[in-house]
Structures are given as C-alpha cells and as structure tokens.
Amino acid sequence: MTLIDTPHLAEHDEFYEELLAAHKGLSAEESSALNARLILILANHVGDIEALREAIALARA
C-alpha cells in the first residue's frame, strides 16, 4: 500500500484550527497524551498494520 502523502484533506485549515483548539489550555504532558490518544484512535480506524508502518516511516523522514 502506498499512502497519500500530498494534500488530500478538503478542510485542512478547519482541521488544523480544531486540532489547535483541542490543545488549548493543556500542559505539555496533557498535550502529548491527547496526541497519543488521537494517534491510537486513528490507527484503529485505519486498521492496516502495513499502512501504519508506512505512516511511521513517512513521519520519521
């Protein structure tokens, strides 16, 4: 599987604003925990270990 690594989200600005709002008022530790939970929720939604491995590799690049 090849992940889409070019802009693909129609409402990218809206998503970014909502993501920032979700972190507003959180400590660094709380913000990291939110990110971890979000990653796990989205990974569960994707449900494909190969896609997740590719995503990790892209994120590390």
Report the distance separating Cα 15 and Cα 12, nearest Å: 5
Predicted pLDDT at 27: 98
- Quick one: angle between helices 49-60 and 28-46, nearest 10? 140
Report the distance separating Cα 56 and Cα 59, nearest Å: 5
Considering only CA atoms, give the Rg of the chain.
Answer: 13
Predicted pLDDT at 1: 73
Domain extents in the chain: 29-61
Task: Per residue of the chain (61 residues), give pLDDT as tens.
Answer: 789 989 999 999 999 999 999 999 999 999 999 999 999 999 999 999 999 999 999 999 9
Put simply, whether the predicted model's pTM sits higher than 0.75 gets the answer yes
